[in-house]
Amino acid sequence: MRVHKGCRPQVLTHDSVTVAVDGVIYFSIKDALRVLTRDSVTVAVDGVIYFSVKNTVNAVTQIQNFSHSTRLLAATTLRNVLGTRNLAEILSERESISATMQSSLDDATDPWGVKVERVEIKDVRLPVQLQRAMAAEAEAAREARAKVIAAEGEQRASRALKEAAEVINESPAALQDGDSLQEYFIALMLKVSQEVRGTSLLALGGVSIMYE
């Protein structure tokens, strides 16, 4: 058996049989490989694996089809690794998951003379129904926050008006002076508008204050 090494590809000859072995190969995990996560969500995953042949003899003699076998192993490893993660982890920890896959695949393919250089998870797609449910949940959360903000604003405005009423009750003499009363109400309106951003108050006499 003679091994002839070129730059790329490498060629292994055995008697009258010649097999071309690519030096660097990559393939995509196409057709959106479907994976069940730890929290029982089915996701479609696209990925790419880059590997090279480091030992052409082993690549041909230790495995029947090193390229096809590496692809099958990559798909199986992807399912196994993602199956131990929940959806949130898969979406936020792609680099960590890719590194775990690369290490596992490299160890498994080493006897074949194959070196797994890199694994990349390109895309993780959720079922349409789950996307709609998540969008509805996000919208409901935004509406809930808006209601809370509005309720807090009303409480602050109510407290400001209550304080104003207490001041008036404690200083009835101030009501005898029209100018002082108008100035007081303008100050009160300004305070309420500042307490509740975006609130517009219109008092008698056409005085209007809007605080953004």
DSSP letter for each residue of 30-84: EEEEEEE-TTS-EEEEEEEEEEEES-HHHHHHSSS-HHHHHHHHHHHHHHHHHTT
Q: Which segment of 58-72, 82-96, 146-160 scores lowest on mean pLDDT?
A: 146-160
Q: For residues 69-78, give the mean pLDDT.
A: 89
State the chain's mean pLDDT as an integer.
72
Q: For residues 152-178, give the mean pLDDT.
A: 65
Q: For residues 134-154, give the mean pLDDT.
A: 70
Q: Is the pLDDT of residue 149 over 70?
A: yes
pTM of the model: 0.53
Residue 8 has what DSSP assignment?
A: S
Cα–Cα nearest to 21, from 4, 34, 1: 4
Question: Across the chain, where does the E strand assignment appear?
Answer: 2-4, 10-14, 17-21, 24-36, 42-53, 114-125, 200-202, 208-210
Q: How far apart are CA 76 and CA 95, in angstroms?
A: 18
We find that the CATH architecture of domain 2-125 is 2-Layer Sandwich (3.30)
Per-residue burial over 167-176, b if 16 or more Cβ lie within 10 Å, else e, is eeeeeeeeee
121 C-beta neighbours (distance < 10 Å), count:
20
Q: How far apart are CA 209 and CA 212, in angstroms?
A: 10
Position 109 scores a pLDDT of 94
Position 174 scores a pLDDT of 54
Give one word for 56, left, alpha or beta, with left for phi > 0 and alpha for psi -120 to 50: alpha
Rounded to 5 degrees, φ, ψ at 6 are -105, -170
Position 151 scores a pLDDT of 75
Q: Is the pLDDT of residue 168 over 50?
A: yes
Q: Which segment of 6-20, 34-48, 84-98, 196-210 scores lowest on mean pLDDT?
A: 6-20
Of 149 and 23, the one with more pLDDT: 149
Position 98 scores a pLDDT of 92
Q: How far apart are CA 39 and CA 159, in angstroms?
A: 47
| C-alpha to C-alpha distances, 103 to 56, 92, 97, 110, nearest whole angstrom | 21, 19, 10, 11
Q: For residues 125-143, give the mean pLDDT.
A: 68
Helix, strand, or coil here: 177? coil
Query: Highest mean pLDDT: which of 151-155, 188-192, 203-207?
Result: 151-155
Of 58 and 135, the one with more pLDDT: 58
Cα–Cα nearest to 114, from 53, 71, 60: 53
pLDDT band at 172 (very low <50, low <70, confident <90, very high): low
Of 101 and 182, the one with more pLDDT: 101
